């Protein structure tokens, strides 16, 4: 049953980019526990990514590279902290992961980036700064390399492919060597 739901989810998302499908996968998960990053109102993380990248005017990387790094950063954050990225927290965790990437990768990010992002997200600046520190501590102040992110994206695409194959041919055994 779980495999069928997983495959159905990927079939529904097949027209989107891999990064967008990963974010949608996180959005599809129901929150079973709470975290500091839960939001009362849900925002579309895809819109957040688009708006914040536009606001940041990245010079060194294109949006696709940022979203690939973002996808791997979300995965690492989740697996290193036992915080499931889900419908309740994906918007804020996405914003903080992207903020960390922009500050790390862009030489000339503007001085008031936190104020502008907090306003864009409609969050009190002190609260925004406190959650940024918490995110950085939980992320252990590390981010993946672009190579690690690209490898993760390829692995995720392979997982999508396998889930589709398993659903269409459930009786066929797949040998992985």
CA–CA gap between residue 12 and residue 23 (Å, rounded): 14
What averages of pLDDT result for each successive group of 10 residues across the chain (177 residues)? 43 62 84 77 74 70 80 90 86 89 76 87 92 92 88 86 66 47
Give the per-residue pLDDT at 126: 95
- Every domain of the chain and the residues it spans: 18-168
In terms of Cβ atoms closer than 10 Å to its own Cβ (0-12, 13-18, 19+), residue 3 is: exposed
Give the per-residue pLDDT at 172: 45
The token pair at 49 is 């990514």
What CATH topology corresponds to 18-168? Cyclin A; domain 1 (1.10.472)
- Rounded to 5°, the CA angle 41-138-44 comes to 25
User: Whole-angstrom distance between the N-terminal and C-terminal Cα of the chain?
Assistant: 26
Give the per-residue pLDDT at 66: 80
Give the per-residue pLDDT at 107: 64
Give the per-residue pLDDT at 130: 94
Answer yes or no: are the C-beta atoms of 96 and 135 closer than 8 Å.
yes
pTM: 0.72
Give the per-residue pLDDT at 142: 86
Give the per-residue pLDDT at 169: 40
CA dihedral over 53, 55, 56, 62, signed as positive or negative:
positive
CA dihedral over 30, 120, 123, 106, signed as positive or negative:
positive
CA 72 to chain centre: 7
- Rounded to 5°, the CA angle 102-105-111 comes to 55
The token pair at 148 is 């690690």
Give the per-residue pLDDT at 11: 46
Answer yes or no: are the C-beta atoms of 155 and 90 closer than 8 Å.
no
């Amino acid at each position: 049953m779980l495999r069928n739901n997983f495959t159905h989810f990927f079939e529904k998302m097949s027209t989107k980019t891999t990064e967008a499908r990963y974010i949608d996968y996180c959005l599809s998960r129901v929150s079973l526990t709470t975290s500091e990053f839960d939001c009362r109102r849900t925002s579309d993380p895809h819109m957040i990514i688009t708006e914040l990248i536009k606001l940041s005017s990245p010079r060194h990387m294109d949006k696709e590279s940022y979203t690939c790094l973002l996808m791997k950063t979300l995965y690492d954050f989740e697996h290193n902290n036992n915080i499931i990225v889900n419908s309740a927290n994906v918007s804020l965790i996405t914003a903080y992961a992207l903020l960390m990437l922009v500050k790390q990768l862009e030489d000339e990010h503007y001085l008031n980036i936190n104020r502008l992002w907090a306003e864009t997200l409609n969050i009190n600046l002190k609260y925004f700064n406190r959650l940024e520190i918490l995110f950085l501590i939980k992320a252990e102040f590390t981010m993946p390399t672009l190579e690690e992110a690209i490898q993760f994206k390829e692995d995720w695409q392979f997982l999508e492919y396998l889930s589709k194959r398993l659903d269409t041919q459930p009786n066929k055994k797949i040998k992985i060597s």
